[in-house]
Chains A and B, each alone.
Chain A
Amino acid sequence: MLRIEDLKVNYGGIEAVKGVSLEVPQGEIVTLIGANGAGKSTILRTISGLVKPSGGKVFFNDEEITGLIPYDIVSKGITLVPEGRKVFPDLTVLENLKAGAYLRKDDIKPDIEWVYSLFPRLKERSWQAAGTMSGGEQQMLAVGRALMSKPKLMMMDEPSLGLAPLIVKDIFDIIKTIVAQGVTILLIEQNANMALQTANFAYVLEVGRITMTGQGKELLNNEEVRKAYLG
């Protein structure tokens, strides 16, 4: 579904991504793990069009989408749940969901109901300003907001960041539910343990390069991965 070939990105004067190739097949969860500063976020920001690559190509369903603006990327069905959630703090929960459906012209009511059924907590708080909610609730909203664009591919940047373990488990359960409903997931995480348990396939990224690939469960048992990322 998503294919990246030899992607290179300069960010703040340094080459943050140094030729990365990876593939995300339809209907699966693929994860990209790596330490802080390895270039994970930069890859997602490049795919979503916020950052322009300096080399390489990105394909979505065999169509080249390299360097398109975010508007076009969202229109094609790719969405990003950004790092740190980034809900719009003074918009209500409902308005945040509407912002997620910004490009849609069809009826969004069924999808609002769908998101509310995935996250009943959001329904209770639909009139509350998003900035007043807890971190876990904001993460749910960020995921719900991304789903409102009816994505084919949802990219998630560190969904577990700063959340209590119990809530992290909830979020990952939801990720599995979303995949079961036909959305493909590209997930980046520092919480390698959780990510590898959930993902079908995983890439390990180190200072801008892929150093290892394999099935999620396989890497979970890999000695090097265990030492570097699982402690």
Chain B
Amino acid sequence: MSLYEFVLANLMSGISIGGQYALIAIGYSMVYSILRLINFAHGDVFMLGGLFMVFLAATFPLWVAIPALIILIVALGFTIERVAYKPLRTAPRMSVMISAIGVSYLIQNLALYFTGGLNRMYPNIPWLSDPITVLGVTTRRVTVVTPFLVIALVFALVWLINNTKIGIGMRAAAKDFDTSQLMGIKINSVISMTFVIGSFLAAIGSILFFTSFPGVFPAAGAMPGLKAFVAAVFGGIGSIPGAVIGGLLIGVSETLIRGLDVILGPANLGIISRPLELATFSDAFTFILLIVVLVFKPTGLFGDKPTDKV
């Protein structure tokens, strides 16, 4: 494999995994902007997306399993909000956060109980997992499809937020609950809608992610969830384009760091004579990147700038 092919292959898989992070990150970001809550259970909902698919695909054909999975995950996100967060609407923010941590562990423990903690193989989705050669690089189709699907979904979402009534409701509620209610906006419906959208994107994300990395286990949502959260903060929590840029940056940089030894090594650029073995630190690097960004721009790349006057 030439250097060009190696770098291109790494970039493609970096963009792809970044897009998958982005889909999860949007869920964190939207919920945060409306409730000021970091929904710790979001990564675990994503993991359940993988786990449910394992069971659904064992029983049903894929054309039933995929829609059923999306509906199940959306219903789950909706239910978590109604059961664990809505009763705490007037409670201090810290209480809701603790509730979110509780839901996160509950989901992980239930998954552990029902699977016995074994690594389950994610089903092969024919079209998505087929090999395909692009620009001389052979990869799976999911790697190529992900960025386009992410872009399409993000455009649809941004359109929804900017042009529909529920979109205005969401943006209004994100600023001021009381005044939104005075307009007749039902806060609870708007919040539910936010969870529905976030869970929908997490379900799509889980299909793409686990097709690329087919092992599903109870803690499989933890690391992608954490990175997606970092992506959301990195891009400026509350901003949807920010979440996407953040996800892509993290995906690409962690993939390139893993490939750094090969790129710089004797076989290619020849800058280093023995491996740096930075791959071990690729996750740590993600967080260093976050710290650096936050030091210079505490609100993230596209963070809310206050427009309040008077």
Contact = CB atoms under 8 A, between A and B. Distances in A.
Contacts of A86: 176, 178-179
B182 A79 contact: yes
Interface in A166-186: none
A135 interface: yes
Interface residues of B, number: 20
A71 B168 contact: no
Nearest to B305: A90
Given A82-B179, A88-B175, A95-B168, A71 B310 contact: no
A70 B175 contact: no
B181 A99 contact: no
Interface stretch (A19-27, A32-40, A126-134, A191-199): A126-134
Contacts of A129: 307
Looking at chain A, what size class is its interface with the partner chain?
A: 20 to 34
Contacts of A52: none
B175 A71 contact: no
A80 B310 CA distance: 21
Interface in A26-82: 48-50, 69-71, 74-75, 79-80, 82
B171 interface: yes
Interface of B: prevailing SS: helix
B185 interface: yes
A103 interface: yes
A91 B182 contact: no
Contacts of B178: 50, 82, 86
A181 to B, nearest CB: 21
B80 to A, nearest CB: 24
Interface in B266-310: 307-310
B181 A70 contact: yes
A103 B168 CA distance: 12
B183 A90 contact: no
B309 A131 contact: yes
Nearest to A146: B182
Nearest to A130: B307
Given A98-B168, A102-B168, A50 B181 contact: yes
B187 to A, nearest CB: 9
27 contacts: A48-B182, A49-B181, A71-B184, A71-B186, A80-B182, A82-B179, A82-B182, A86-B176, A86-B179, A88-B171, A88-B175, A89-B307, A89-B309, A90-B171, A90-B307, A98-B165, A99-B169, A99-B172, A99-B180, A103-B183, A129-B307, A131-B307, A133-B309, A135-B309, A135-B310, A138-B309, A162-B310
Given A70-B182, A70-B184, A102-B184, 11 more contacts: A80-B182, A88-B171, A89-B175, A89-B309, A90-B171, A91-B168, A95-B171, A100-B183, A131-B309, A132-B309, A138-B310
Interface of B: 165, 168-169, 171-172, 175-176, 178-186, 307-310
